Structure 1
C-alpha cells in the first residue's frame, strides 16, 4: 500500500534513486553503437561478428525484463532491483576489461540483466508513492528510457575521441554504482508481494521462444529473410511460444498470467507497444546514419559521430518534458488520450523526416516533434498497464509490455535498415536517399496503425469517469 502521508520531499530521494538506476541501463543500450567501427577494427571482426555486441545484449534483456519483473512481484522489488543492478555492474566491468570480441559479447549478454530496472521501478513507484503522484512519476521514468537512449548516442563520440572505447564502459559502471548506492540508501522494500514458486518450465519455454524470435529478427537482414536458418528460427519461436501458452494455462502459479493479458486495457497497451516500437525505433538508428552521409552524394550533412548524435538531442530533451506531461493528461482524462496523441504526434515527426530531411533544422525539428510522441507513448503505455492490474502483478505486466516494445522495435529497425540498404547511389556503397524516405514513411504508417489500435481500446478521449478515476487512498483500483 502506498504511504499516502508521504510528503513530496520524502519521495524525492527514492525517486531520484530510481531515475538513476533506470538511466544507467538506458545509457548502456546505445553507448556502444557509435564505437562499433572502432571495435570492429580493434578485434578484426566482420560486420556480422561485431553486430553480436548489440544482439547479445538485446537477447538477454528481453528475457530478463519479463522474468525479473515477475520475481520482483514475488520476492520484493527492491531486493531484485539491487540484484539486477549488481549483475549489470559485473557485466559492465567485464566489458571494460575485455581483450577479445568473445568476452565482450559475453559481457554484453550479462549486462542485459539490467533491463529489469524498468518494470521494477514502475512497481516500486506504485507501491511506495502517494497515488496522486504515481502517473507523473511513471511518466518521467518512462521518459528516462528515451533520454538515456538518445544521450547514449551523443556521449560516446567525445569519449572515444579523447580516450578509447573502454572508457564508455568505465563511465557506465560509475553511473551503475551510483544507482546501486542510491537505491540501497533511499529506497525501502514495499510490503506488497505475491509469494509463490517459480514456473521453471515457463522460464525455459519463454526464454527459448523470445531468443529464437529476436535472433531471427536481428539476423534476418544478414542471413536472408527467406534463408533456412531464419525461417527455422521463426518456426522454433512459434512452436515454443505456443507450448508456453499451453503450459501457462495449466500450471497453478504461471510465470505470466495469460488471463491478465486478455484484459482489454492490457491487451490494447501491449499491441500498441509492439506497433509503436516498430515505428519509432528506426529513428534512433536512421537519423544518425543519414546525418553522417557525405553531402557529395546529394543528401546528408557530413556529420561526425558526435555531430550525428546531436541530431537526436532535441528528441531526448522533448521526452524529458513529454513524459510527465503525459502522466498529468492521463490522470485527468484517462490514458487513451495521451496514447492516441503520442501516435499522431509521432506520425507528424516522421512526416517531417520524410519530406524535409535535406535541411538540418528540419531534422532537428522532426526529432523534437518525435520526442514528444515517444515521451507521451512510453508514459501512457506504462500507466495503462499499471492502472489495469493488481499491485502484485505490476512488474510482470510492465515487463511484458517492455518486451513487446523491444521486439517491435527490433523488427522495425531491421526492416528499416533493409529498406535503406536495398538501393545504393550509383557508383558508391552509400544508400540512396529514397531508402530513407521510404523507411520514414513506413514508420509514419505504423504509428497511424497504432493510433487506430489505441482508439479501438477501452475508455474514452474525454474526462475520466468514475471507473477511471484514481481509487481512494489505501484502496486498489478495480481491475479492468
Structure 2
C-alpha cells in the first residue's frame, strides 16, 4: 500500500479508536473528585472508599497485557469490542450501584469490571499499525496516546459540575453514553480482523501473572494503610509469583509473554523509561488538586472547590491534545528516542515550575500546560518506540507490558508523593507544609531527568 492510498473507512476507524481509548481513560480518574461524596452518601470509611481506585488499578493492570495478547492471537477488533462491552457492563453496574443493597461493595465490584476494559489501549495501537498507511502510523499513534492522557486529565475536570448538578451516578451514565457510541463506531468503521496467530491461551501464565501483579500493586498502594507484616507478606508473594511466572513462560512454546521479546534493547529502554516517567508524572494528578484546594491560610493554597481545582489541570489536557500528534510528526524526523528525551526534559521543567511557583495560581496553570506537552510527547514517543521494535503480531503484547510498567511506576510515584507531602504538617491544622509540596515536585522533576538520561543511553547509536 502506498502513502497516497487511503483505505476505505480509515477516518471513521480512527475516530472509533479515539472514542474507545477515551471511554476507558476517562474512567481512570472520574471517581477521584467524587470520593468525598461517595464516602458520605454511601456511608463508607475512607479505607473502603479507596478501593474504588485500587480495584480498578488491579484489574486494569492484569487486563492490559492479557487482552492485548489475546488480540494478537484472535483478532484485535474482536477483542476491542469485547473490552468495550465489558467496560459498558461495569459502568452500567456502577451507575445502578446507589440503588442496590450493599452499594459501596457493588460499586467496588463494578470498578473492578471496568478495569478489564484496559485492553482498549494496546488493541488500538495494533489496529492502527495493521490498518493505516505506514506514513500515517506515527501521528495516529501519537494522537491515540494523547487522547489516553487527555481522558486522564479531563476525568479530573468534568466530575465537579456533573456531581453538583445531577449527583454522582450521572458520572457513570455519562461515561456509558461515550462507551456505547464507541462500541457502535468500532463495529461499523473498523475493518474485520486479519487472521491472528491463533493457538492455545496460556491460562496458567495469566493466573500466575494476575497473582504477581495483584500482590505487587497491593504492596505499593496499601503500604501506608496495612500492617507491616501484611505488606511484607504481599511483597514476598509478588516476588515468588513473578519468579514462577518467568520459569513457567520460559518453558512454554506459546507463552502469554514472550520473554525474548522483553530482552530487546529498545524495549528494555522503553519499559525502564516508562517506569520512571510513571513515577514522576503521576504525582501531578494527585498533588495539584490537593494543593489548590488547601485554604489560603496555609500559606500556599487557594481554597478552590472540586470544580475549580479541576480547571487548574485543564491546560494540561489542552496541550496534550496538540503535543501527542506533534510528537508523532517529529519522531520520524528526529528519532522517537530523541523525542522521548525531549519529553522528559519538558516534563522536568513543568515540575520545576510547580516546585518554585506553587504559591501563585498562574504558575500552577502554566506548569500544568508545560507538563501536558511533556506527557503528550512522552506517551506518543513511548508507544512509537515500542511499536517500532516489534512485529505486527507482537504489538498488543509489547504495548500492554509497557502500559503495565508505567502503571506500576505511577502507583509507586503517587504513594511516594503522598508520603513526602504528609511528612510535615502545620501545627494545629493537620495540613501539609509548603515545603512538603516543594520537595515532592522536586522529586518528580529529578525523576524525569533520570528518565531522560535512561532514554538517551538507550537511543540507537549511529552507524559509522
**Structure 2 Cα separation of the partners of residues 241 and 22 of structure 1:** 29
Work out whether 1:203 is the aligned partner of 2:206: yes
Report the CA distance shift for 1:188/1:4 in structure 2 as closer, same or farther (over 3 A): farther
Residue in 1 aligned with 2:224?
A: 221
Unaligned runs of 5+ in 1: 467-480
Residue in 2 aligned with 1:407?
A: 408
Residue in 2 aligned with 1:173?
A: 176
How far apart are 1:347 and its partner, in Å?
Answer: 0.6
RMSD: 1.4
Work out whether 1:288 is the aligned partner of 2:298: no
How far apart are 1:4 and its partner, in Å?
Answer: 5.7
How far apart are 1:425 and its partner, in Å?
Answer: 1.0
**Structure 2 Cα separation of the partners of residues 255 and 344 of structure 1:** 35
TM-score of the superposed pair, with normalisation by structure 2: 0.97
Match runs of 1:310-325 below 5 Å: 310-325=311-326
Question: Is the 2:78–2:193 Cα contact (8 Å) retained in structure 1?
Answer: no
Question: Is the 1:198–1:255 Cα contact (8 Å) retained in structure 2?
Answer: yes
Q: Secondary structure at the match of 2:198?
A: coil
Residue in 2 aligned with 1:55?
A: 54
How far apart are 1:416 and its partner, in Å?
Answer: 0.5
Work out whether 1:191 is the aligned partner of 2:190: no
Residue in 1 aligned with 2:375?
A: 374
**Structure 1 Cα separation of the partners of residues 259 and 196 of structure 2:** 19
Match runs of 1:124-143 below 5 Å: 124-143=127-146
Residue in 1 aligned with 2:23?
A: 24
Question: Is the 1:212–1:234 Cα contact (8 Å) retained in structure 2?
Answer: yes
Q: For residues 1-43 of structure 1, what are the alpha-carbon distances to aligned partners after superposition, in whole Å with 9 as ceiling and x for unaligned?
A: x786642884111000100010000001111111100010112
**Structure 2 Cα separation of the partners of residues 301 and 321 of structure 1:** 29
Match runs of 1:334-345 below 5 Å: 334-345=335-346
**Structure 2 Cα separation of the partners of residues 459 and 134 of structure 1:** 20
Q: Which of 101, 120, 125 is the matching residue for 2:123? A: 120
**Structure 2 Cα separation of the partners of residues 138 and 61 of structure 1:** 20
Residue in 2 aligned with 1:348?
A: 349
**Structure 2 Cα separation of the partners of residues 321 and 393 of structure 1:** 28
Q: For residues 432-479 of structure 1, what are the alpha-carbon distances to aligned partners after superposition, in whole Å with 9 as ceiling and x for unaligned?
A: 11111111011011111111110111315x8xx89xxxxxxxxxxxxx
How far apart are 1:430 and its partner, in Å?
Answer: 1.2
Work out whether 1:46 is the aligned partner of 2:45: yes
Residue in 2 aligned with 1:470?
A: none
Question: Is the 1:4–1:129 Cα contact (8 Å) retained in structure 2?
Answer: no
**Structure 2 Cα separation of the partners of residues 355 and 438 of structure 1:** 10
Work out whether 1:160 is the aligned partner of 2:163: yes
**Structure 2 Cα separation of the partners of residues 51 and 8 of structure 1:** 46
Q: For residues 126-172 of structure 1, what are the alpha-carbon distances to aligned partners after superposition, in whole Å with 9 as ceiling and x for unaligned?
A: 00000000000000000111100111101000000001000000000
Question: Is the 1:192–1:391 Cα contact (8 Å) retained in structure 2?
Answer: no
Match runs of 1:236-385 below 5 Å: 236-385=237-386
**Structure 1 Cα separation of the partners of residues 25 and 395 of structure 2:** 20
How far apart are 1:317 and its partner, in Å?
Answer: 0.7
Q: Secondary structure at the match of 1:452?
A: helix
Q: For residues 58-86 of structure 1, what are the alpha-carbon distances to aligned partners after superposition, in whole Å with 9 as ceiling and x for unaligned?
A: 00000000000000000000000000100
Q: For residues 79-117 of structure 1, what are the alpha-carbon distances to aligned partners after superposition, in whole Å with 9 as ceiling and x for unaligned?
A: 000001001100000000003100000000000011110
Count of aligned residue pairs for this structure pair: 460
Q: Secondary structure at the match of 1:188?
A: coil
Q: Secondary structure at the match of 1:98?
A: helix
Residue in 2 aligned with 1:418?
A: 419
Q: Secondary structure at the match of 2:222?
A: helix
Residue in 2 aligned with 1:88?
A: 87
Residue in 1 aligned with 2:69?
A: 70
**Structure 2 Cα separation of the partners of residues 365 and 89 of structure 1:** 36
Q: Secondary structure at the match of 1:97?
A: helix
Match runs of 1:437-448 below 5 Å: 437-448=438-449
Residue in 1 aligned with 2:430?
A: 429
Q: For residues 223-280 of structure 1, what are the alpha-carbon distances to aligned partners after superposition, in whole Å with 9 as ceiling and x for unaligned?
A: 26xx011111111101100110111111110000010000000111011011100000
**Structure 2 Cα separation of the partners of residues 324 and 166 of structure 1:** 34
Q: For residues 163-217 of structure 1, what are the alpha-carbon distances to aligned partners after superposition, in whole Å with 9 as ceiling and x for unaligned?
A: 1000000000000000000100100123152111111111011000001000111
**Structure 2 Cα separation of the partners of residues 320 and 261 of structure 1:** 30
Q: Secondary structure at the match of 1:22?
A: helix
Question: Is the 2:276–2:451 Cα contact (8 Å) retained in structure 1?
Answer: yes
**Structure 1 Cα separation of the partners of residues 3 and 108 of structure 2:** 45
Question: Is the 1:266–1:385 Cα contact (8 Å) retained in structure 2?
Answer: yes
Question: Is the 2:283–2:417 Cα contact (8 Å) retained in structure 1?
Answer: yes
Unaligned runs of 5+ in 2: none
Q: Secondary structure at the match of 1:205?
A: helix
Residue in 2 aligned with 1:14?
A: 13
Q: For residues 294-313 of structure 1, what are the alpha-carbon distances to aligned partners after superposition, in whole Å with 9 as ceiling and x for unaligned?
A: 00111111100000001110
